[in-house]
Structure formats: C-alpha cells, structure tokens
Amino acid sequence: MKKKLVSILLTVAMTAAMLVGCGQSAPEETESSDSAAPAVESTESAAPAATESAPAVSGDKKSVVIWDYFETDAQKAMMDTLINGFNESQDEFVASHVYVPFSDYEKQLTLGIASGELPDLVIMDGCGMASFIELGLMADISDADIAWDEYIAGPMDSTMMDGKHYGIPFATNCTALFYNKDLFDAAGIAYPDENTTWDDFEKMAIALTKDGVVGFGNAGVNTDEGTFQCLQWLYTAGGSYTNIGDGIDAYKLMQRMIEEGAWTKEAVNWTQSDVNNNFMAGNIAMQQNGPWQLPGIAANAPELNYGVTVLPKRDATSGQATSILGGENMGAVNKEDASGAKAFIKYYDQTEVMVEAMKQYGSFPPKTEAAKDSYWTEDPMQKNFIQQLETSIPRGPSPAWPSYSAAIQTGFQEVMTSAKTPEQAAVDTQAAVDAVK
C-alpha cells in the first residue's frame, strides 16, 4: 500500500509545476501569497540546494534542518530572523533552512521518503499535509510541550489525523468580501456587513450591475484555486466536500446570479489575481479575495475607496458564513530523533515570536492569542479577516484531496456555465466525490 501511495504522490507532485498551490495563482510582485511562495522554474537535480551554507555544528550541538519554499525577500528575511532567534535562544541545537522551489516541493519530499534524505522540519501548504501524514513522512509529536487548544481550530485540524498531532499551523488566512464604497454610495446602497444575507447580497449585486460594472466576482477557475474560493459557498449552504446535496442552494445561487448578470460569467476563467485586478479597475463592485491582495491594492490603486467585511451568511437565522483556509503548516519529519524539530516548533509557538514572523510574512498568526495583536485587530481591513477566520475550515483534510478538489470544482464549473442544472450537477458531483478512494 505504501509503495502505491508513493507512486500516486510522485505522479501528483510531478504535475505541481502546473499549479502554484492550494488556493492561489502566482501572485504579482506587489502581492503576498495566500498559501505558498510563487512558483519558479523546477530544478533539475533530485536534491534541493540550500539558500546558504548550513552553519557548522560545533561541540555537541545537533543540527535542525528546515525545508521551505519561500521566494520573496520578506519571506526569506522572516526565516533568517526565526532561525537566528532560535539559535540564540538555546545551546543544544543549531538550525538552518533549505530552499526548495514550490513546483518541486512535494516531488522532493516523495523522493526523500525513498532515499532517506529528508530535513527535520518541513513548512508546507496546509492542504497537502494529510497526504504526507498518511505516507508516514510526519512524526507524531502529540507529547510535545504545546498548548494545542490555544490555536484556531481550523488551522490546527489540518495538522492532525486520528487525533494525533504532527505539527502546528505556521501561517493562516482566508477569503472575505471586498466592496467598492464609491459604487455603493453612487447606487445609494448600504455597505455589506456581518448581517448581510445571501438575499441581501444578491439584491446588492443586481443593483450594482450597470454601466459596465458587474456586481460580484470570484475565482472559479477549474483548479484547486477555484475550489479554494467556491467551496465556501457549498459549506455555507449546509453541504461539505463529501456531502454535495445539502449544499445545493449554493449551486442555485451561483447559477441564478450569473444568469442575472450580477455574478460575472468570467469567474470560471479567473484566478484570484484576475479577480483583484478587475476589482481595482472598477469592473466589479464586490470581490471574494484574501488579505494577500491588500498590499497590491495599496501599491496599484491607492485611491480606491473600498472596505472589507465577512462573507454573506445564508439567512438571518444562520451564523457567520464559512470560509476556506489557506496557509502553511510546520510539521516534524518522522526520524529517530525528533527533539530538534520539537524544540523549533516550541520556539515558534511563543506568541511574540509568531507575531513578529507574521508581520514580516504578511499573513495571520494561527494562534488565538497572537491573532489578537493590535497590528491586526486595530486595522480596519485586517480585523475583518480575523473575524472571518473564526468560521474558516481547511480543505479536507484528506490524503485524497487533489481528487476531491477536481471532482468538486468540475461541479462548480458545470453550474456556473449552466452546462447542468443545479440538481443534475449535485447528483453527478456527489457520484464523483463518492468514487474518490
């Protein structure tokens, strides 16, 4: 069974160059990534090359090697700060990190399982961790000195399997609702807020669709990036990634709004960057997107008068809408001695360390106390994402997530293009989901 899983994962990993990560497209230079570093060209060698020489291990200090795929200057600076801080904080271990291109990351891990050439820690896309837990790559560190319940539930769930802990969330984010205040003001419509229902949202979008502007747009492209944005609607309707039928109202809402012209039909081709570019250009009045777009808006559309709020809920009696998590996890690799990995995880677990790292990184800290820092809670944009995180969930988690995602997003594409009725699409998507093994 393990050989079969390795073969499957290697096949998946070798296609990773076609994808940028779970839930995102390659960001523009002015943007931060939602769940992974920008894709770069694959390396030819089977073994990754370090970004810098690993520090010499002096005396009895043990080496702790970390793999990451961080590409931007800010991300690299964050890792240097983390590693220097850890090395200065104790005398037992010395840490270093190795850069592996995102397009090669899962392939290199899969090859490492076979060769035994693996790091002590990996920082990896949250939706991919379950596959490697299933393969035995990750170490059970449930006995580590970590207050597990101090983390936001959704991100923590993506690091676990069968009640066991294999790491901690490293960075987290989600999508929320952006809206153009000037367009709302011109139409005489009140801004959306935490009380906005699907009915309210649909009426807003219809009223805003005029003069070449479409009321709403999101990323519905037929990849996991589309799943990352579309799955939220299914969950808010009452369904799940294994229960399509109970979420059929999401299919009905999408198809109806697209046919009304209030939800752009271009969504099926748009990445998240495409959506944000059209929002900045004033082509759509509302968009679903993440906090990694904020720097791009500030740099490229500084005069844009906009706001951010939580996604619309199903009805007045429902709780806050669900959103889907993006971000990375930090996992310990299954080795005879995992003490160095546990020590580094414990270092990052400190609230002050996590806060400073996430300020550099441009994402949210997954620890509840850290997320309360005024850097996020007092910012009028950021605080709404923090609120949305409270009802955000991971994709899966499942070792078979790529297959689930492909089945689910095919269903959304069929609905959004009116290729099938919501009822038929629900039946067919459920059958495709049930066929995933």
The 10s digit of each residue's pLDDT in 320-364 is 999 998 889 999 999 999 999 999 999 999 999 999 999 888 789
Strand (E) positions, 202-251?
214-217
Q: Tokens 């009805």 map to which residue?
A: 315
Helix (H) or strand (E) holding 428: helix 422-434
Number of Cβ within 10 Å of residue 339's Cβ equals: 15
Residue 131 binned pLDDT confidence (cut-offs 50, 70, 90) = confident
What pLDDT does residue 418 have?
Answer: 98
Query: Is pLDDT at 26 greater than 90 in this prediction?
Result: no
Query: Is pLDDT at 251 greater than 50 in this prediction?
Result: yes
Number of Cβ within 10 Å of residue 212's Cβ equals: 7
Residue 34 binned pLDDT confidence (cut-offs 50, 70, 90) = very low
Distance between CA 177 and CA 310 in Å, rounded?
6
What pLDDT does residue 291 have?
Answer: 87
Residues in the chain: 437
Q: At CA 185, angle to CA 229 and CA 255, rounded to 5? A: 35
Query: Is pLDDT at 219 greater than 90 in this prediction?
Result: yes
User: Which of 105, 138, 168, 153 has the alpha carbon at shortest distance from 353?
Assistant: 168
Distance between CA 151 and CA 312 in Å, rounded?
25
Query: Is pLDDT at 43 greater than 50 in this prediction?
Result: no
Q: Are 215 and 177 in contact, with CB atoms under 8 Å apart?
A: no
As a whole number, mean pLDDT of residues 22-35 equals: 40
My answer on whether omega of the bond before 399 falls inside 30° of 0, hence cis, is no
| 265 or 30: which leads in pLDDT | 265
Q: Are 95 and 68 in contact, with CB atoms under 8 Å apart?
A: no
What pLDDT does residue 1 have?
Answer: 45
The pairing of beta strand 121-125 with beta strand 62-68: parallel
- 176-324+400-434: what fold? D-Maltodextrin-Binding Protein; domain 2 (3.40.190)
* CATH 3.40.190.10-classified regions of the chain: 2-173+325-393, 176-324+400-434
What pLDDT does residue 18 have?
Answer: 33
Q: Kindly provide the b/e burial profile for residues 45-75, where b requires at least 16 CB atoms within 10 angstroms of the residue's own CB.
A: eeebeeeeeeeeeeeebeebbbbbbbbbeeb
As a whole number, mean pLDDT of residues 226-236 equals: 96
Residue 93: helix, strand or coil by DSSP?
Answer: strand
Strand (E) positions, 52-194?
62-68, 93-99, 121-125, 160-161, 164-165, 167-173, 176-180
- Report which DSSP code applies to 3: H
- Report which DSSP code applies to 336: S
Query: Is pLDDT at 298 greater than 80 in this prediction?
Result: yes
Burial class (CB in 10 A: 0-12, 13-18, 19+), 189: middle
As a whole-number percent, the residues of the chain with pLDDT over 70 amount to 86
Q: What's the mean per-residue pLDDT of the chain?
A: 87
Query: Is pLDDT at 221 greater than 90 in this prediction?
Result: yes
What pLDDT does residue 49 have?
Answer: 47
Residue 227 binned pLDDT confidence (cut-offs 50, 70, 90) = very high
Q: How far is CA 173 from CA 152, 154, 194, 216, 281, in A?
A: 11, 11, 18, 21, 24
Lookup: tokens for 182: 């000037």
What pLDDT does residue 362 have?
Answer: 77
What pLDDT does residue 102 have?
Answer: 78
Q: Are 276 and 293 in contact, with CB atoms under 8 Å apart?
A: yes
What pLDDT does residue 48 have?
Answer: 56
User: Which of 124, 150, 189 has the alpha carbon at shortest distance from 326?
Assistant: 124
Residue 432 has, within 13 A of its CA and on its CB side, a CA count of 20
Lookup: tokens for 431: 């059958």
Distance between CA 249 and CA 251 in Å, rounded?
5
What pLDDT does residue 75 have?
Answer: 83
Cβ contacts of 2 within 8 Å, gap of 6 or more: 135, 136
Query: Is pLDDT at 11 greater than 50 in this prediction?
Result: no
* Entry pTM: 0.76
The 10s digit of each residue's pLDDT in 88-123 is 999 999 999 999 987 788 889 999 999 989 999 999
- 2-173+325-393: what fold? D-Maltodextrin-Binding Protein; domain 2 (3.40.190)
The 10s digit of each residue's pLDDT in 381-424 is 999 998 998 899 888 878 888 899 999 999 999 999 999 999 99
What pLDDT does residue 428 have?
Answer: 98
